[in-house]
Structure 1
Amino acid sequence: MYRLYCETRHKEQAVTVASSTVYCELFRTEFNLAFHNPSKDRYDFCVSFENLSLDEKNKQMHLYDDHHRNKARVQEKKIKDKEESRTNKKKLSVCFDLQEVLMTPHSNASVLFYKRKLNTFNLSLYDLGSGQAVCNVWHEGIAARGSNEIGSCVFDYLKC
């Protein structure tokens, strides 16, 4: 956002811009806004392993180590596929994720908070080679969030 602020200020007026420190401080104090890193999904296995007793952790350590070796192997494969899709235009590498369900309407008012809400879904697809992203958004009145819906979104993406 700071970069966009600088670009906009230079285009609109030929004036000097505030430093990133001043920009962030004003953003926090004047507008009461802050940035945060989004949380990542965690595997159930990792979360349950962290909550085990020391004896149970020792018993399942080999499974935990296998899990992390597999994770590293998959990351290496993803990096390789990404590079191949950048150099070979006949190869396509895409990651997709059904993001958190959005409750519509969203409000903290007690009357509205407990009323029936409409679930809205967002399936994001990201082309690792080109860096292009596509979002498919629908609500539960149109379709559910099952394998048929996900498959239809992926199929539509591949058709284009």
Structure 2
Amino acid sequence: MNLSIFSPKKDQCGLCTSHPFGQISDEEYKLHIDKKNNARDEKIKDKCSAAGNQCHVITMDVESVKLSPILKASALYYKTKLVVHNFTLYNLNTREATCYWWDETEGELVASTFATCVVDFISRKFQDNLPIIIYSDGCTNQNRNAMMANALLQVSVSKKITVFQKFLEKGHTQMECDSVHSAIESELKNKTIHVPSDYIKMCQNARNKQPYETIYLSHNFFKDFSVRKNQAYPSIRSGSKAGDPCVTDLRALEYDPSGKIFYKLKHGDHEWNELPAKPIRSSDATNYPLYTERLQITARKFKDLQELKSVIPIEHHMYYDSIPHK
């Protein structure tokens, strides 16, 4: 009957796949595996603490880029489409997940957009004094940067709670929030998307028993955490001279309600060290809006979207007409 067991596709770590071919040394490979195992052990330990109501643990990541529209019409094949993003935060203890959606006219993929979503999630979801532990990959543009650090420090000071930010090893960043993206991908199979807001319904239907909280964002939602005069810490580098550890060497950050940031270069029972860059101002600064208006798309993309209106229901034409463009 030509039947076989299905093998799921899984991205493999580039460093791990290079080792069998002699591209990296055994020592470098062993160090990489040790870092991966330490990060995994740390996450398992924190997950057990969350189950015992000793802390809150969340994982976060951005889903692969989505497009609008998505149709079976052949007219779409050679046309550029609108880009849509989904940033997901997942509570390991309650299994609650929140998906923040926006399209490229409402916001970019910059540190302040992700920081705004994280601050909003923590502010709305956690009302007790338990520590909050956030797990993510180590992407410097998204998670491991001064903008995100100052945003979390503001939350820590304002809510008087300790916030921890921990990073998994590159190439081994599988997390519980990935299950949300997988469920959404399954729901999107053989479905049509006419406008970006259609993703909201798909996301809500992706899990029946405990539907995901789905929020579609506009440009006026995002705050700007990149303004230097509002940052308590202009840098989160753990060293101050050439040869010292840099930002990518950080494995964990602790945001203390006193307004200080501490760091670790290794997971486990190692001591926390205060960042050498002392806070230069208080962490309760007012954050300005990141955008004052919707962002423009290119003239070519607007032209392509206008031509695609011939295969899109007429009730959605006004949306594509209203898109700002160059």
**Hey, what does 1:145 align to over in structure 2?**
109
Q: Is the 8 A contact 1:107 1:113 kept in 2?
A: no
Cα distance in 2 for partners of 1:101, 1:36 equals 24
1:129 to 66, 73, 93: 93
Distance 1:69 1:85, change over 3 A: same
Distance 1:128 1:121, change over 3 A: same
Partner SS for 1:81? helix
Using the TM superposition, give the Cα deviation of residue 110 of structure 1 relative to its aligned residue in structure 2, in angstroms. Answer: 4.0
Cα distance in 2 for partners of 1:131, 1:63 equals 36
1:67 to 28, 32, 39: 32
- Give unmatched runs, 5+ long, in structure 1: 1-34
2:16 to 19, 33, 46: 46
Partner SS for 1:130? coil
- Give unmatched runs, 5+ long, in structure 2: 1-5, 125-326
Q: Larger helix proportion, structure 1 or 2?
A: 1
Worse-superposed segment, 106-115 or 137-146: 106-115
Aligned residues: CA RMSD = 2.3
Using the TM superposition, give the Cα deviation of residue 124 of structure 1 relative to its aligned residue in structure 2, in angstroms. Answer: 1.2
Q: Is the 8 A contact 1:83 1:129 kept in 2?
A: no
User: Which of 1 and 2 has higher RCO (CA within 8 Å, sep 6+)?
Assistant: 2
Q: Percent identity?
A: 29
Distance 1:127 1:88, change over 3 A: same
Alignment of 1:5-154 (within 5 A): 37=8, 39-47=9-17, 49=18, 53-54=21-22, 56-57=23-24, 60-88=25-53, 91-107=55-71, 109-154=73-118
Read off the aligned partner of 2:97 and give its amino acid letter. Answer: A
Using the TM superposition, give the Cα deviation of residue 41 of structure 1 relative to its aligned residue in structure 2, in angstroms. Answer: 4.4
- How many residues are paired up? 119
Using the TM superposition, give the Cα deviation of residue 136 of structure 1 relative to its aligned residue in structure 2, in angstroms. Answer: 1.0
TM-score normalized with structure 1 length = 0.65
Q: Is the 8 A contact 1:85 1:93 kept in 2?
A: yes
Read off the aligned partner of 2:67 and give its amino acid letter. Answer: M
TM-score normalized with structure 2 length = 0.34
